[in-house]
Amino acid sequence: EPEVTQTPSHQVTQMGQEVILRCVPISNHLYFYWYRQILGQKVEFLVSFYNNEISEKSEIFDDQFSVERPDGSNFTLKIRSTKLEDSAMYFCASRRREGRGANVLTFGAGSRLTVL
């Protein structure tokens, strides 16, 4: 079964450092998402991406965050200068545009970010 792949599974970084989280969505999917989950809390929407541009972003997704689809397969989330409160699990998700299951988001296994 096709899956969304995320790397790294766990990254530890120092406060103020830049971090790039990578995702390879399912190949025929056209909508891409990043979500964040602070340990033990709800899953929060960060940003959605379609047709090579951001279609929606939350208030969490400030100027420190950016997303990119550099090569048509990878979908990256960059945090420019990490803060302690960025420590969380980051989930990438994707979905199709049309057809049965187009409304279903498939999630990656997550990238755990620890900021020290």
Partner 1 sequence: AQTVTQSQPEMSVQEAETVTLSCTYDTSENNYYLFWYKQPPSRQMILVIRQEAYKQQNATENRFSVNFQKAAKSFSLKISDSQLGDTAMYFCAFPSNTGKLIFGQGTTLQVKP
Contact region for partner 1 (CB under 8 A) — 21-29, 69-77, 79-87, 101-109? 101-109
Sequence-distant (≥ 6) Cβ neighbours of residue 16 within 8 angstroms? 81, 82
For 84, left (φ over 0), alpha (ψ -120 to 50), or beta? Answer: alpha
Of 7, 11, 13, 37, which one interacts with partner 1 (CB under 8 A)? Answer: 37
Coil, strand or helix: which one is 85?
helix
What type of residue sits at position 12? V
What is the smallest separation between the CB atom of 16 and partner 1, expressed in angstroms?
26
- Positions touching partner 1 (CB under 8 A) are 31, 33, 35, 37, 41-45, 48, 55-56, 89, 91, 93, 95, 103-107, 109-110, 112
